[in-house]
Copies of this chain bind each other. A is one copy, B any other.
């Protein structure tokens, strides 16, 4: 499986341990301050996306000197830096999975823009490829169908979060089950758990977000 990683500029304290310890295999795309943080850790992103707005001129200069492929999102345009990065990743690198780090812990308008990105027409069919990962959460997305998912060893909780109206949501064998539920508005069915190592669920329409998480102090 071809995996591409993307680092956005959110607080470092929210990074998962593997990222702090620099043990995630590349390639990487950097977004805004994310490019600089990759460079500081000895990783040269294959593409850096961002503008002067979010970085100082000197910082931007550093990125320009060391990264071959620099793209700038236009702040006034109806596309965020992260969206441009996702577009580049999906269209130019044909990745099987896109793992996005640094998208949580700071501004919540940014986080929600990222979370809701998969609902846009141009990204929706790629939703299953996209994951957001931080120290406490792994966020994944599903289109209508029947699924078997695996418990992550370090996570305790499992949540099903319809981001749109969803029909016939069935949680087959989780700790708290649902049968053919009709969901009208976004809701987070939080604090569910796997029974064993696998879980099964299905639904007929809409977009489902699934989060595995653990407590942090």
A residues sitting closer than 8 Å to B (CB atoms) are: 11, 13-14, 75-76, 80, 104-110, 112-113, 115-116, 119-120, 134, 136-137, 139, 157, 159, 161, 163-164, 176, 185-188, 190-191, 209, 211, 213-217
Contact = CB atoms under 8 A, between A and B. Distances in A.
Instruction: Give 5 closest A-B pairs by Cβ, nearest first.
Output: A109-B159, A109-B190, A113-B188, A112-B188, A119-B185
A136 B116 contact: no
A72 to B, nearest CB: 15
A135 to B, nearest CB: 9
A75 B11 CA distance: 32
Contact of A107 (B75, B137, B176): B137
B108 A136 contact: yes
A186 B213 contact: no
